[in-house]
Structure 1
Amino acid sequence: MYCPASPPIEYSISKLGDNVYQMGSKFICEKTVGEIPGDAIASWKDCDDTTYYLRKATSKELSSAEKQEFKDVIYQAGTSSSVWSIGTSVICKVKTCCDEMELESITLAFVAGNLPHMPIPKVVFSWRDTEWNRTFLLLKRIKGQTLHSAWPSLSLEHRDKIAATISRYCRDMATLQAPALQSATGLGVLEPFLNVNAENSHPSWKPRLLGPFHRGVFEKYIQRISEQPAPLLGDVFHFYHADLGPTNIIVSGDGEVTGVLDWESAGFYPKYWISLKPYMSAGFSLGSKESRREWVDLFETKLSEVGFELNREDVRWCEQLHMDFFDVNKALLED
């Protein structure tokens, strides 16, 4: 059911005055050239030698009638997600949330602790706004441009180098294992391509989690939605980013990967999902009709070289899944 969040996601940040911004229902972000006040809970330097800081909002500020839309939007995805520039060195990512949903900042901390060589954004500050049902994530910008933007100007050698690097990262991530389909810390995962469709009454802004499911329950779930025999599951689940499309990879002009973004769907998945997901999601495609599958095809080749070969029967299996809504927890977990 189409239903915007309240307030709508595009009003998650509003402008109260020159260099003063309200973030969600609780905090104020200000830009200063002077000292950072003692009540600041986070601060960061911008590229022009000014400083931004975050503090709790006063009741007067929250009730201000002078609020204006903050228009420095980098990206917006429907009713559930938006990203803003905060100066030149930090971005603010806002996403609607639901109960038991993993904070992306926690996933980033998990990656930093277990895969320190992985180039990920540095978290400045993160919080869950329970009143507005959304999360706020302040991240340091990463130098470079998205693979999507850089692709036309990259040489074949540099494209090959990038695909090989991302594939090695997938191999490294997959060495981390868990006994269940789950997030980094054991919650459900945000994976719409494995989740059944939403109930008609489900609001479009509200994320839907799948799991956590131990092997037996996940196997039963897959059997329930499968028309053809499902891929071999394996004994464990492997950590995977799950959204390595060209807009989530930051690269330099010489083919170096400088950053991997958007870890909100990361978690422990069946091994077959590592090579299968790029074929199921349009987010892995490039923009132009002529080149739209070039990243998918090159990525598939490099994944196969590190042990994740795509089975074409798995593609056909996934394309024919029955995704009509049913109450997953009631049908599977209460048996």
Structure 2
Amino acid sequence: MAITKDAVRDSIKQIDQDQWLIAGLFILTRTKAPRPGFLWESADGRHYYSVCAARDPLPTAVALPLNVFEKVHDAGDASAVWDLGEAFLKVNMVHDRKDATDEPTTLRWLAEQKNLSFDFPKVLYYMQHEERIYLIVTRVPGKTLDVVWPSYNDDEKHRCVARVTDIIEELARWRSDSIVGIDGAQFAEPWLDMQLKHRAVHNYSPEAMQEVCEKLGMDCSTFVFCHCDLGPYNIIIDGSPEKVGIIDWEMAGYAPLAWIRTKFGVSWALEFDWRPDEDPTQPSTRRRQKEWRILMAQHLGEMGFPEVMDTWELRLKESQEQSK
């Protein structure tokens, strides 16, 4: 089969108004009647979507029209996400995460657990080819936190923070004696040690990760399961602040308890994005961007979660000096 070598952001091409070629590997088809094994149906129940393998000769396909399947995330040759209606297609490069637990493994494990209090995506289709992962997941109902947060009053903000903290505690019931993913594979969390960003190849082995955690002063006698990427774009609110869904589980795994609060305290990846109408030099802009993660760090502190923020900040400065 002649596999396409397009950039990740160009993974979808259109065959006709009801068929799309994905990276030359499989074909997404929309029909008006359900086919055996269809993956999902449209919100209005008028269309059904299914996937089959692409075969040589590949059908003629053109660039995806702008009004079809909105691209909601685009990191070029690293990752991209398309909105397929009631599902999402996620394409990611593996890079140095080839030995790490992948997202579909974590999502399937979550689906096996009973009585979870929050919603999360379900795996509809998954394949890995060479250095790329292709994953179709269900849509979690609601809006991302960044959309609803500006309309919240202080009480609603507190209720949302408290609810996400409840979910963090719910996940932390699962324990491990090593820093790994849910299946025992590597746990790829570069924020644990910013020095990892300056290495040609990350070392995410449990031994290397534990050594980093111990140097930061975290208790490594046991490790708790955590999402590790609970920024405002991975939290879905469906109506009230208490009705929460969690998406994007690529970074989930077992980490020291102290890492949960520490990451909220130090990671700008968990902030609101800068807006074009804002002056980035104004203190008010930074306060708005940091509000979510700072409120989470404060509440986790009130709930007794430990942290090593000062030590992490010191390691960051040392890492920056070494990279000059």
State the TM-score, normalized to the length of structure 2: 0.83
The answer to whether the Cα contact below 8 Å between 2:13 and 2:61 also exists between their aligned partners in 1 is: no
2:227 paired with 1:234: no
Distance 1:271 1:115 in 2: 23
The answer to whether the Cα contact below 8 Å between 2:118 and 2:167 also exists between their aligned partners in 1 is: no
Between 238-247 and 282-291, the greater mean CA deviation after superposition: 282-291
Higher relative contact order (CA 8 A, sep 6+): 1
The answer to whether the Cα contact below 8 Å between 2:163 and 2:241 also exists between their aligned partners in 1 is: no
Q: Which amino acid aligns with 1:101?
A: A
How big is each residue's C-alpha offset from its partner over 1:36-84, in whole Å with a ceiling of 9 and x where there is no partner?
Answer: 1x5xx54211123211111111212x2x443323642111124211110
The answer to whether the Cα contact below 8 Å between 1:92 and 1:136 also exists between their aligned partners in 2 is: yes
| Map of 2:282 onto structure 1 | none
Deviation at 1:249, TM superposition (A): 0.3
Report the RMSD for the aligned CA atoms in angstroms: 2.6
Deviation at 1:181, TM superposition (A): 1.0
Runs of 4+ residues over 6 Å off in structure 1: none
How big is each residue's C-alpha offset from its partner over 1:124-143, in whole Å with a ceiling of 9 and x where there is no partner?
Answer: 42323324x21122122122
SS of structure 1 residue aligned to 2:51: strand
Aligned counterparts, 1:1-335, within 5 A: 6-36=5-35, 42-48=38-44, 49-60=46-57, 62=58, 64-69=59-64, 71=66, 72-86=70-84, 88-98=85-95, 99-114=98-113, 116-131=115-130, 133-195=131-193, 196-199=196-199, 210-213=204-207, 217-221=208-212, 230-287=216-273, 289=285, 290-320=287-317, 322=319
Distance 2:33 2:76 in 1: 38
- Structure 1 segments unaligned to the other structure (5+ residues): 203-207, 326-335
How big is each residue's C-alpha offset from its partner over 1:107-140, in whole Å with a ceiling of 9 and x where there is no partner?
Answer: 0122233464242333242323324x21122122
- Structure 2 segments unaligned to the other structure (5+ residues): 275-284
Q: Greater helix share, 1 or 2?
A: 2
User: Between Structure 1 and Structure 2, how many residues are aligned?
Assistant: 300
Distance 1:187 1:128 in 2: 18
| Map of 1:330 onto structure 2 | none
Deviation at 1:241, TM superposition (A): 0.5
How big is each residue's C-alpha offset from its partner over 1:261-291, in whole Å with a ceiling of 9 and x where there is no partner?
Answer: 1100000111211111123322211235141
Change (3 A) 1:127 1:25: farther
Q: Which amino acid aligns with 1:44?
A: W
Change (3 A) 1:116 1:287: same
Q: Which amino acid aligns with 2:48?
A: T
Change (3 A) 1:293 1:282: same
State the TM-score, normalized to the length of structure 1: 0.80
Distance 1:124 1:106 in 2: 9
